[in-house]
Structure 1
Amino acid sequence: MNRSRGTVRERIVAAARRLRSGSGASGVTTVVLAVALVCTVFGAGALGRADEMSDGNVWLWSSLTGEISRVNGHSGQVDLVSRLPESAGDRVRVTQNDQYLILHDLDTGRMTAIDLNRMGFSGRVDLGGNGDFTLALGEDTAVVIDRRTGEVQPVDPATLQSTGERVRMPAPLVGGAFDDEGALWLGVPSQGTVAGVAASEGEVEVARTVAVADPGDDLAVSALDRGSLTVNRSDDELTAVTGTGDPVVVPSPIPLDDATVPDRTTGDLLAVTSPEAGRILTLSGIEGGEPELGSITVDLGDAGTAVPYEGRVYLPFAKEGLVRVYAPDGVEEQVVTVPDAEGDLEVEVREGHLFVNAPDSRSAVVVDPSGRARVIDKYAPPPGPGGDPAEPGSITDPLPAAEPPASDPGPDAPAPPAEGDGEDGGLPLPGLPSAGPGTPPRPEPEESEEPEEPETGEAPGAPTPVSHEAGDGSVTLSWSAAYSPDAPVQRYVVTWDGGRTTVGGDELGTTITGLANGTAYRFRVTATNRYGTGPAAQSAEVTPSRGAPAAPDWVSAEAGGDGTATVTWAPVDGAVDYLVSTQADPAADVADRTSTGTSVEVTGLRPGSTYTFSVVARGEGGVSGEAASSAPLTLPETELGAPAEVSFQVSGGTIAVTWSAVEGAAQYRVSPGGDGAISLETATVSGTSHSYQRTSGRCFSFTVHAVGSDGTAAATGTTSPASCVLDFG
């Protein structure tokens, strides 16, 4: 970890600990609360309530504490909390449905999956912090979208491992969210189109393409309940695609040069924010075929993107820590204040409510369909061991400003003791008698002139992911080292139905024997340091068996751009999937990957480091054969950049493409786009120009990537402006 980043993170987390525990809280209180949270979340208590994961619950991120809190939208109460300590202080994008929770750390590029059905950390993938990645989550499918390169990869929402072949679309892409009918909507500006991508049974395909603009126009896309809305910033038009009919085009009365829309819009009212014009456009009646355009004039200043909800428009002002609420006719109806808000405000409609989260503070707000706003204290202890249910946030009458709970003592007040048997509330501490009838009072400690500040620290994170290889009556498990900056991991505990084992804190795997062939098992792994036990990471279901596939042949690895490598191998008879493990020199934490095909892209690698990749074929139930390894692969020391400029000219039947040179590039890869690309092929050339002969099509664009001396192409390319040729005669 970068030292400066680690130092900042340590200060942030230390400050957050004081906020949660109260400046006057004792070390005992802090430890008891930590135990209570662990017991309540992703432990025995949570497992017993797995079937209560019902509609109305939404997870909200708290950056300072590195915690994710489950909030009931109806009561405004936190009922579950879990920790992702390695992301404390970072920007984390939360994507969720009733089955899965995906946490995307935008600063490190790491995605972490939580299986809400079983309440365990279940998957991890490292995408790097330099791309433009997003994850779209449907009912039971997930898709990782690299908007910069145009790659759309289906993944298992529980493990984040690829489930099928990726689709490559002309880059860059915009948008990326599912509608209620299961279509994933993406804008393709270089083609002037929006694409409806179908995702099912682990595969993705482009099911529908609709022309909504000229190729090369600047677009923004929002997925609707059915279809999509495209904002054409170049031509000042709004285009709605619904059902299977023709798109509905609505000219904008104002410039849309810098207009924004949310990635997902819920309900019949649509909103487009245009900061330069100082206006918010509203659009309704799309489904009925009679679009009605409205306008709200407002001093946008540093406002964010407006979000429509239940016939009103909610406009966040992060610096002021508030959200202004407007009727479609422009009348300001309400101001929702987020107490003590700092940093960004995230506004999202989920589970029939609108949530306003301030990730850098303890507060959030939930708004119900009537407009009532309720303050959420994300730091309030959840119900269960260590604390009674927090008082619900106060409810306001419809449309006035939200108010904080009356019982909230503020961030600097000491935390009140919870009811319980322990001295400071919560769980009684081992070795200490419980207070009660007949128990003599404990002597008060003598006052010290200089009382020592109690030592505080955090339990480890989850050791995600947990990989498995099944054998004859046995399963071999491996996991990543748990994040534990405050103290070394002392032990890892592995549990399963009918068993439990413990290994040392410096061990990252174990083999479980004496299992029944043909019986399915799922394993959970927790890490413990001197401050407590962290949340559980879980394996996929695995079934021991005698039969095992052979080792793969022809395992090889090729370096890609931006810290990636592509590993390939020959197919193995009887293999259901393949487990790919990475060994690094110097050592590095690279998560295992799985693939149902014969290749996988491994991300999160370091330039200049040497890697060896091992591939194991797995049959039904995860039964595994012998591993086969690639030759060592050393990644290039430096990453190639992208050309500063790409342009082209059409003269008669010749298309001349030119670009600026990139330092360190040996060659360049030129990829045609537009309808004219049908008859043109990708070319790899030396120099800074290339010519094509035009045979068909009239619209063109070209993307150029630099290529190193080892044949590795840069992850980032530059695309020329698109233009169309007018033919006369």
Structure 2
Amino acid sequence: MKPRGIGRGRAPMALTALTVVGAVALALTGAAKPQGGADFQQSGHWVYNAVLGGVFHLDGATGAIDARAEVPEAEAGSPVVQGSTGGYVIGRSRIIEFGKSTLRVERSTPAPSAEAPVTLEVPGGPYVIYRESGKIVWLGGETATVSADGKLGDPVATADGTVWLHRPDNGAVCKLVKGALRLDCPASTPKGQTGALTVVADRPVFVNTATDTVHAIGEAGLGEGVPVGADLPPSARLASTDVDGRIAVLDGAAKRMLLVDIGGPNRTGPPAKPAVVSLPPGDYTDVESSGQTVVVVNKATNAVLTFDRAGKPLRETTMPPGGTRVSRGEDARVYVDSADGGHVVAVDHDGRVTPVPISGDKITSSNQPQPPPAEPTLTGGPGPTTGAGPTTGPRIQPPPKLPPPPRSTTVRPVQPTSAKPPVAPASPPGVPTSVRASSGDRQLTVDWGAAAANGAPVSAYLVTWTSSAGGSSKRVGGGTRSTVLTGLANGTAYTVTVVAENRAGRGPGGQATASPVAPKPQRSIQLSRGTPELYKDDCTHLPDSAKMRVTLRGFAPNTSVKVIPYSSNPRYSNEGRTVRTDANGTHSFEAFHYCQVGRQVWVVADGVKSNTITWERR
């Protein structure tokens, strides 16, 4: 592959290709020292809450929400990544940048592709990778896009900020060094063989699922393979980095996870057999590592499962209904976001799990705008000091003491007043009650009950819907109790959230989950007169004698159906014919000779009656 790029990249990082099993094991499990640099590690995690319309910063160490930025133009379900000075909301149509210090939107640029991307937070990054279109967007400085000239697999990154990518079509293994805008492709995998990249001991490796081997990646190409000791399916998913020296391999179809031990520098025998972890029934596509802990998500139950390096279960944490997104922050923690951004589960390096609901009323940071303090009165000239402070200059003048009020010798009774008690200030509305979502063809009908006004009339309801296929939102009037969401994907589960608004803000949301369904086609049978044809001794005159033409529509696809003809002549009898519908549930054929002029005929199949026709002489 001939790489393309923008600008001038740095010199390629030197790597050594290892060709013997022992050397491969040493390379993959030896201690790695990240290169030094001026980058500071970006800690915590940003998430976009579609219901509240803002991005929130989660302190991964404490679980506290310590900052919020308003991003009104963001799309529901958008992931958020951060760099050294800014954060980026990655929408399907636009990438919106906000300042981490100003907490304001700085710019908005069109997204290079409408597909759902993979994001990486690494030193010098972040990066957004569009695998289908083969585009890598660098957001570490001025936004730039690098083309890989083909589809990409899941990317990985090492601690120095180098991004590694694999092109499954031609096998090229490429890297993008921190700050570079040009791909360098030092290795290649065998064409036609499946596999994926991961990182072990901060070195990139390729796991070949066709040969069930692990290969170190060096400047001289792909190193000799180390057997993994298990049969890996082509659909296997890998954590982006090792789990204390082991490779976490998710086999979602078999409901199992393998922890592959490829050996170490002090091991004399062959690598140990992989630890095999049986997973509960469910739907598994996501696996990630925080360094010491494996994180797996059961999408069927929205459960976040954690395991140690030996496969021992640690904890199961259930998230609210709806889709989930798994990512690994630059702080090496694993973050699992709910689709609407209303909930995050943070998994620390040591396996500690912190579930955090994202709410606008829990901001704890002084980074948020605060009312200015009252200004003290300043007077010039020298004054008393404390400690080692200056002896001249402005000083704070305490307010003058007021004399006590004069004593009164006349006691006056308190007169009653007609003043009304103070009105309590308004607060955001309550939760909309009885939220329901009814399925239709590519649409959902959402109904809800009124939310408590809490001191101010409800001015609007914000309806947000999210799913694995994307999402959006709409605002309706405060008196509205129903709305229709159109343009949805049939068979996809959508989480719908309804939030009430008044002049004091937005309240909590009520939720419902439903899937649009395509309507079943209406079954019908059309009967008409078919080709004239004589039949034995019963129908010997043309054109009175002819076949019946029968057309079935809307029946179950690829299904056998028995069709029986009937006549107004009580002596008529026919055992019928069994036919098979096509993939669209239709079938047309000619059968059932008939010649009784003036009589009525019809057919019945699976309880469905056709139209009735009168047999005429022609």
Larger radius of gyration: 2
TM-score by length of 2: 0.48
TM-score by length of 1: 0.42
The structure with more helix, counted as a fraction of residues: 1
